Structure 1
Amino acid sequence: MEGKSQRGVRLRPVDLARPYGLSTQAVRNYEEAGVLPAAERTASGYRTYTPLHARALAAFLALLPGHGHRTATAVMRAVNRGAADEAFLLIDESHAQLLEDRRTLRAVENALRDLGPEARDPGPEAGESGPPGSPAATFVGPLADQLGLRPATLRKWEAVGLVRPRRDPLTGYRVYGEADVRDARLVHQLRRGGYLLEQIAPLLDQVRAAGGLAPLEAALTDWNSRLAARGRALLAGAAELDAYLREREGPEAQP
Structure 2
Amino acid sequence: MPGARLRPVDLAREHGLSTQAVRNYEDAAILPPAARTEYGYRTYTRLHSRALGAFLALVPAHGHRTATSIMCAVHRDAEEEALRLIDESHAQLLDDRRTLRAVEQALRALEPPDPSPVAGTFIGPLAVRLGIRPATLRKWERAGLVTPRRDPQTGYRVYSAADVRDAQLAHQLRRGGYPLEQIALLLAQVRAAGGLAPLESALNDWHERLSARGRAMLHGAAELHAYLNARTPSADRTGPE
TM-score (norm 2): 0.89
Structure 1 counterpart of 2:41? 46
Say whether residues 1:171 and 2:171 are aligned partners: no
- Counterpart residue identity of residue 220, structure 1: L
Structure 2 counterpart of 1:128? none
Output aligned runs, 1:1-255, within 5 Å: 6-7=1-2, 9-116=4-111, 118-119=112-113, 135-250=118-233, 252=235, 254=237
- Kept in 1: contact 2:3–2:46 (CA 8 A): no
Partner secondary structure for residue 228 of structure 1: helix
Partner secondary structure for residue 213 of structure 1: coil
- Kept in 2: contact 1:102–1:227 (CA 8 A): yes
- Kept in 2: contact 1:78–1:87 (CA 8 A): yes
State the 1:143 CA deviation.
1.7
Instruction: Point out the more displaced range, 237-246 or 185-194.
Output: 185-194
CA distance in 1, matches of 2:171, 2:57: 41
Question: RMSD of the alignment, in Å?
Answer: 2.2
Instruction: Point out the more displaced range, 147-156 or 31-40.
Output: 147-156
- Kept in 1: contact 2:29–2:71 (CA 8 A): yes
- Kept in 1: contact 2:12–2:19 (CA 8 A): yes
State the 1:196 CA deviation.
4.2
Instruction: Point out the more displaced range, 14-23 or 32-41.
Output: 14-23
CA distance in 2, matches of 1:206, 1:184: 14
Q: Call closer, same or farther: CA 1:196–1:25 in 2, change over 3 Å.
A: closer
State the 1:210 CA deviation.
2.8
Q: Call closer, same or farther: CA 1:200–1:142 in 2, change over 3 Å.
A: same
Partner secondary structure for residue 198 of structure 2: helix
State the 1:91 CA deviation.
1.0
- Counterpart residue identity of residue 135, structure 1: V
Q: Summarize deviations over 1:69-128 as a string: whole Å, max 9, x none.
A: 111111111111111111112111111111111111101100111114x24xx77x9xxx
CA distance in 2, matches of 1:40, 1:71: 26
- Kept in 2: contact 1:34–1:77 (CA 8 A): yes
Greater relative CO, 1 or 2 (CA 8 Å, sep 6+): 1
CA distance in 1, matches of 2:36, 2:82: 28
State the 1:27 CA deviation.
1.0
State the 1:251 CA deviation.
5.6
CA distance in 1, matches of 2:20, 2:123: 63
- Identical amino acids, percent of aligned pairs: 71
CA distance in 2, matches of 1:91, 1:55: 18
Q: How many residues align?
A: 238
State the 1:199 CA deviation.
4.2
| Runs of 4+ in structure 1 over 4 Å off | none
Q: Call closer, same or farther: CA 1:51–1:174 in 2, change over 3 Å.
A: same
- Kept in 1: contact 2:130–2:171 (CA 8 A): yes
CA distance in 1, matches of 2:173, 2:105: 8
